[in-house]
Structure 1
C-alpha cells in the first residue's frame, strides 16, 4: 500500500519504519513541528493536511498526532474517502460526531486507544477475569497505568478501555474515578490511577484484591514497536475488508471489528 502518515513524531517515525519493513511505501509524512517531515504544515491548517494526503496518491492514512489536533485532522481526512486509521487518544467524547461525518461523507475510520495485538488480547482477558471475580464480593478491583512523561493525556486511552472491560465483566462497578480519594471509596466506584514518569512506553495493571490475597494482571509494552506495527496491520485489514465487502464504507470502526 501507499501510506500517508499524519503526525510524524516518535510514533510516526516508528510507524514509517514498520510500514517499510512490511513492504509498504510511505508516500507522505505530515507534521506541524518535525522538520524532517515531507510536508510541514502550520498548526490548525487542516486543509493543508488534506491537500498533502490527496497529492501524495496514498491508498490509506495513519493518523498519530496530538489530542488538540486529532478532530481537525479527522474532519479533513475522512471526506477524502481513503481508509483512515487513527491512534491518537483523548477524543472519546466526540466519537458520535466522527460517526456522523463518516456516514455523511461515505468515509471510513478505524480508531483504537491501542493497536498492539497483545493489548487487544489483554482486553479480552481482563473482561473475562472481571466476570469471574465478580462472583466473589471479597475481591475489589482497580486499574493503574504508567506512561512516559511526554504523554499529553491522562488516563491513557488504553486504561479507559481496560476500565470499560472491567465494568463490562463486573456490573457492580458503575463509575470510574480518576482523581485522588479524599474519603472512603464507594462500592460502585472503580479507581483508575495514572503515573507519568521517565520513558515508560506503557504499563497497565488490573488489581483484584481481597483480605486473603491479591491477583494482578499486567500488560507491559517493551517499546512503541508493537503499537506501530499494529496500526499498519489495522490499515491493511481495514482496506482488505472494505475491498472484500465484509466491512462497508461510511462507518467508524474499532479493533474488535478487525480481530
Structure 2
C-alpha cells in the first residue's frame, strides 16, 4: 500500500516506522513547505498535521479520490463540511480524536459506565487529561470524545474546561513534558469514588491504530469511525 503522510512531525515519523514494518510504502511526506503532490501514486493518506491545515488536506484528498485517515484535532468546526465533501466525491474518510486501539476500547467502556451511572445522581463526573507541552489544543480531542460519550448517556448537557456549571462536565487539562497522554474519568460521591483511566506509554499505539485504519479503509467508500474498524458498532 502506498501511503502519503500529511504532517511529518513526531507522529508522522512514528507512523512511517510502523507502516514500513508492516510492508507498506511511504510515497509522500507532505509538510508546510510542500508545493506539489502526485496524487496518482497514493493509495491512502494519513493526516497528523495542524488544526489550520487538516480540513484543506481532507478536501484535497476527497477531490482526488484518495481515502484519508485524519488524527488531527482542533478543526472540528469544519467536520460536517468534510463529511459533505466526502459524500459529494464518493470518497472515504475516517476521523478519530485518538487512533489508539486501547483508547477506542476505553471509549466503549466509558459509554457503558456512563449508561450505568446515569440514574445515580449522587455521583458527579469530572475528567482530567494530561499531554505533552507541544499539544496545541485543550482539552484534548480524546477528552472531548469521552465527555460526549457521558453526555449521550446521562443528563449532562455539555462540558467546560476547568470550572463548570452543575449540568456540565468539568475537564482539567494539564501539559507536562514528554507525556504521551493520560485520560481519567471520575465519578465522585460523598461515600466513594469510581475511576477509569487510560495511560499511553508511548506514541506507538496511536501510530499503529492509524495504520490499521488505513489498511481497513482501502477500497471502501463512505464516512467511518474507529468503531467500524474495530467492529464495535
Name the TM tier (shorter chain): over 0.9
Is 1:29 the counterpart of 2:12? The answer is no
Q: CA RMSD in A?
A: 1.4
How far apart are residue 148 of structure 1 and its match? Answer: 0.4
- Conserved? CA contact 1:129–1:169, under 8 Å: no
- Conserved? CA contact 1:4–1:53, under 8 Å: no
Q: Provide the residue aligned with 1:118 in structure 2.
A: 102
TM-score, scaled to structure 1: 0.85
1:43-122 map, 5 Å: 48=35, 51-54=36-39, 57-122=41-106
How far apart are residue 88 of structure 1 and its match? Answer: 0.4
Separation in structure 2 between the aligned mates of residue 254 and residue 73 of structure 1, nearest angstrom:
18
- Conserved? CA contact 1:130–1:166, under 8 Å: yes
Q: Provide the residue aligned with 2:129 in structure 1.
A: 145
Separation in structure 1 between the aligned mates of residue 43 and residue 59 of structure 2, nearest angstrom:
18
Separation in structure 1 between the aligned mates of residue 57 and residue 43 of structure 2, nearest angstrom:
17
Separation in structure 2 between the aligned mates of residue 258 and residue 197 of structure 1, nearest angstrom:
31
TM-score, scaled to structure 2: 0.94
Separation in structure 2 between the aligned mates of residue 164 and residue 29 of structure 1, nearest angstrom:
33
How far apart are residue 135 of structure 1 and its match? Answer: 2.5
The structure-2 alpha-carbon separation of the partners of 1:137 and 1:103, relative to structure 1 and needing over 3 Å to count, comes to same
- Conserved? CA contact 2:61–2:67, under 8 Å: no
Is 1:4 the counterpart of 2:27? The answer is no
- Conserved? CA contact 1:113–1:161, under 8 Å: yes
Separation in structure 2 between the aligned mates of residue 253 and residue 92 of structure 1, nearest angstrom:
15
User: Which of 190, 196, 200 does residue 221 from structure 1 map onto?
Assistant: 200
Deviations 1:147-187 (A, max 9, x none): 000001111110000001111222x1112111435xxx32x
Is 1:254 the counterpart of 2:225? The answer is yes
How far apart are residue 191 of structure 1 and its match? Answer: 0.9
- Unmatched 5+ residue regions in structure 2? none
The alignment partner of 2:120 has SS state of: coil
The alignment partner of 1:212 has SS state of: coil
How far apart are residue 53 of structure 1 and its match? Answer: 4.0
Q: Provide the residue aligned with 1:44 in structure 2.
A: none
Moved beyond 6 Å, runs of 4+: none
CA radius of gyration, larger in: 1
Is 1:200 the counterpart of 2:183? The answer is no
The alignment partner of 1:52 has SS state of: coil
How far apart are residue 143 of structure 1 and its match? Answer: 1.3
User: Which of 148, 152, 159 does residue 176 from structure 1 map onto?
Assistant: 159
Is 1:167 the counterpart of 2:151? The answer is yes
- Unmatched 5+ residue regions in structure 1? 33-39, 42-47, 243-248
1:207-246 map, 5 Å: 207-239=186-218, 242=220
